[in-house]
Structure 1
Amino acid sequence: MTTTKPESVPLIQIEVLVPVDVPAEKRARFEHSLARFLFGNDRVRPELRTALTDAGIDFNHLATLSEQRPLGLCPSPGAVEFVPTERLARVCREHGIDLTSGGCALMTFGYGAYEGKQQPPDALEIDIRLPRGAERDVAASPELTRDLVTALFGDCQLPEAARAYLRTHGVDLGEVAARNADALGGPEVPFTSRVSPEIHHYLKTNGFDVDRYGRFDVRAVDRTTTELPNGGAAWSKTTCC
């Protein structure tokens, strides 16, 4: 874990408002698991294996196509791509933010944020802090905010290689899921998951059922600061190369 990055490296701070009560001794593992959920890649749930196999899909091959590919030019193990839209890239250029030399997403976790307050039943709320200047443009534009969330966390779809494999075999994943809603646990349960069954079980055991959260809601966008609240821990991830 790290709390600082050189000033030349773009730094995005993400504060996750934790919607469940997690004992102090369990927080390190909980935070790591939650970070894997946020930055994870979407995969088809194993409950659909039989139905997809019957449709001619090799489920193991589909799972392989759904894995995140390592970045060939990046020296940082486990790095993920940060791919901005053209309008987000334009805002970064206007404020002198270089997206070609790497960056870091610094994640903190806010416990007790909902004490006595209503929390959304189907959304994970986050606050985002950006380098100086960019935060004003992003905060003023819902479209730029959505672009930023997608660049950080993906678009909640299978990777293109996996979707191409399904298209080639004439398989519509939405239709397969609708026909097998009972196997998934109900029509409201998404047919993809961002975490392994083991991490899903761990998070659910600790009160955070990832099936309940259909979106990430950005509560506020502000200017970045490298100071962590109350000495809180941070989880750092390279986001572009």
Structure 2
Amino acid sequence: MTTTGAEATNVIQIIVFVPVSIPDDQRSTFEQALGQFLFGFDRVRPELREPLAAVGVDFNHLALLSQKPQIGVCPSPGALEFIPSDAVAEVCRRHGIELTSGGTVQVGFTYDTYGDSRTPPSDALEIKLKLPRVVYQEASDSPGLVADIVEALFGDCQLAEPARAYLRAHGVNLTEIAAHNVKRLGGPNVPFTSRVSPEVHSYLAETGFNLDQFGRFDVKSVAQVNAGVSWTKATCC
């Protein structure tokens, strides 16, 4: 994401309200792991490898198909492809923001949001979204536009379409597979997918950040981009 207009910018900022207590000397590692969660992709948990194999599904191939599809507009390896909805693309076009020339997503972490007076939500990770001024002005009056931007950044909390097509071809319903393997997953409320590797999932669980709680990202507020965030990820469009 880059710009041609004087008031536009190629930066989106995300402030994450951390719902657990993390010691100062562990925050850098925690933030890198949480970043992998934020920008991860949904993949089926390895606990379901055997039940899926029993119905003819190759788990390794399913994992490969579950990776975020790349549309090939990004020259930088490992960068996040910001794929806009029609509404986001129209706002960018109107304000001279070019979506294929690169930019950054900057992530900051706030550790003192919750305390005696306020407890974190049990089923969501709260974030603040900071947008370029021209986009913010439109998004502040349009929840739908905010939702589109959030989905472009974080995905739609579903397996990638090639993975879903592969399961459909095998006649497999993951919800049914999970329902018959509750003990393998660890309980009836445990999702059958995860956005990160088992190693990152275990690390975050050890810090008290239970990924299974956070079924959605809630945008607590929307603001205009400013300075002062710590973790960055390149975007290309």
TM-score of the alignment, normalized to the shorter chain, above 0.5: yes
Contact 1:124 1:213 in 2 (8 A): yes
Alpha-carbon distance, 1:71 to partner:
6.2
Contact 1:43 1:193 in 2 (8 A): yes
Contact 1:16 1:108 in 2 (8 A): yes
Give the Cα–Cα distance (whole angstroms) in 2 for the partners of residues 85 and 60 of structure 1.
Answer: 31
Secondary structure at 2:98 match in 1: coil
Contact 1:178 1:187 in 2 (8 A): yes
Structure 2 counterparts to residues 101-140 of structure 1, below 5 A: 101-116=101-116, 117-140=118-141
Q: What code does the residue aligned with 1:15 have?
A: I
Secondary structure at 1:133 match in 2: helix
Give the Cα–Cα distance (whole angstroms) in 1 for the partners of residues 73 and 15 of structure 2.
Answer: 29
Q: What code does the residue aligned with 2:56 have?
A: G
Alpha-carbon distance, 1:187 to partner:
2.2
Q: Which residue of 1 aligns with 2:4?
A: none
Give the Cα–Cα distance (whole angstroms) in 2 for the partners of residues 9 and 140 of structure 1.
Answer: 20
1:175-226 CA-to-partner distances (Å, cap 9, x unmatched) read 211222222122221110011111111111111011111100000111111x
Q: Which residue of 1 aligns with 2:81?
A: 81
Structure 2 counterparts to residues 181-220 of structure 1, below 5 A: 181-220=182-221
Give the Cα–Cα distance (whole angstroms) in 2 for the partners of residues 12 and 138 of structure 1.
Answer: 13
Q: What code does the residue aligned with 1:96 have?
A: G
Give the Cα–Cα distance (whole angstroms) in 1 for the partners of residues 51 and 212 of structure 2.
Answer: 21
Q: Which residue of 1 aligns with 2:235?
A: 239
Alpha-carbon distance, 1:153 to partner:
0.3
Give the Cα–Cα distance (whole angstroms) in 2 for the partners of residues 73 and 56 of structure 1.
Answer: 35
Contact 1:71 1:80 in 2 (8 A): no
Alpha-carbon distance, 1:136 to partner:
2.3
Contact 1:9 1:104 in 2 (8 A): no
Structure 2 counterparts to residues 93-108 of structure 1, below 5 A: 93-108=93-108
Alpha-carbon distance, 1:60 to partner:
1.0
Where in structure 2 are there 5+ consecutive unaligned residues?
Answer: 1-6
1:111-130 CA-to-partner distances (Å, cap 9, x unmatched) read 11112312111100000110
1:1-55 CA-to-partner distances (Å, cap 9, x unmatched) read xxxxxx9751100000011110010000000000000000110001111111111
Range with bigger deviation, 176-185 or 69-78: 69-78
Q: Which residue of 2 aligns with 1:4?
A: none
Q: Which residue of 2 aligns with 1:3?
A: none
Q: What code does the residue aligned with 1:16 have?
A: V
Secondary structure at 2:34 match in 1: helix
Contact 1:20 1:208 in 2 (8 A): yes
Q: What code does the residue aligned with 1:163 have?
A: R
Give the Cα–Cα distance (whole angstroms) in 1 for the partners of residues 125 and 42 of structure 2.
Answer: 17
Give the root-mean-square deviation of aligned CA atoms: 1.7
Q: What code does the residue aligned with 2:110 have?
A: G
Give the Cα–Cα distance (whole angstroms) in 2 for the partners of residues 63 and 32 of structure 1.
Answer: 22
For these two proteins, the number of residue pairs brought into alignment is 230
Q: Which residue of 1 aligns with 2:166?
A: 165
Q: Which residue of 2 aligns with 1:91?
A: 91
The runs of 4+ residues in structure 1 deviating greater than 3 Å are: 68-73
Contact 2:11 2:132 in 1 (8 A): yes
Give the Cα–Cα distance (whole angstroms) in 2 for the partners of residues 203 and 93 of structure 1.
Answer: 39
Q: What code does the residue aligned with 2:137 have?
A: R
